[in-house]
Structure formats: structure tokens, C-alpha cells
Amino acid sequence: MLKNILLVGLGGAAGSMLRYAFSVWFKHASFPLATFLVNIIGSFVIGAVFAYALRSEQFANNWRLFLAAGICGGFTTFSAFSLESLAMLQQQRIGMFVLYVGGSILLGLTATWLGYSLVK
């Protein structure tokens, strides 16, 4: 258990530092390019990691924890959201998919506005 926590923590630290680097590299863009790129790249990486894990029994659980939960989790939580959404579509749980995606966007924006409004 401790080993798993350390793998996720080390990967998360690396992912967070990489995310910060993106924000520095693209800080002058008029469009939120850093966040946009982080979300797309993170979604691609987590999809590739899970596809490879399904294909290869040799792909150790340690690497999945480090890469998916750790690096992708620190880089962006949008990647996990994307993977969970894709799983719902693959399982043909369309109603749950619409509720999850729509609810996440609507409630996420609402919660951000509410938190901002209460503290402002």
C-alpha cells in the first residue's frame, strides 16, 4: 500500500511540475492554451496507458499507477474524466454518460461561480 501511494505521489509531483511548465510556456496566449493542451495531451496519454495495460500482462500495476493515477492525475484530472466517459460510452450507458458529462460541466461551472462569488 505504501509503495502504491509513493508511486502515485511521485508521478503526481512530476505531472504537476509539467503542468506548471505548460502554464509558463503558454502564459501569453490569449486563449487558455496551456489548460487546453494539458487536457488533450493528458486524455491521450491516459487512454494509451490503459489500452497498453489491456494488451500487455507484463505492464506492471506499478507503471499504471505511476503513469495514469500519478502523472496524468497531477497533469490533469480531465484525463480521468475523459477515460470514465469513454468507458460509459463503450458500455452503452448513454444516459449515465449524458448525466456525467453534462452534470460535470454544468455543476463544475456553477460550483466555480459559487465559490468565487462567496469569497469575492
Binding positions for Na(+): 73, 76
HSE (side-chain half, CA atoms, 13 Å) at 70: 18
Binding residues: 73, 76
Q: Report DSSP letters for 56-86, one per residue.
A: -TTS-HHHHIIIIIIIIHHH-SHHHHHHHHH
Neighbours of 28 (CB within 10 A): 6
- Contact yes or no for 72/45 (Cβ under 8 A): yes
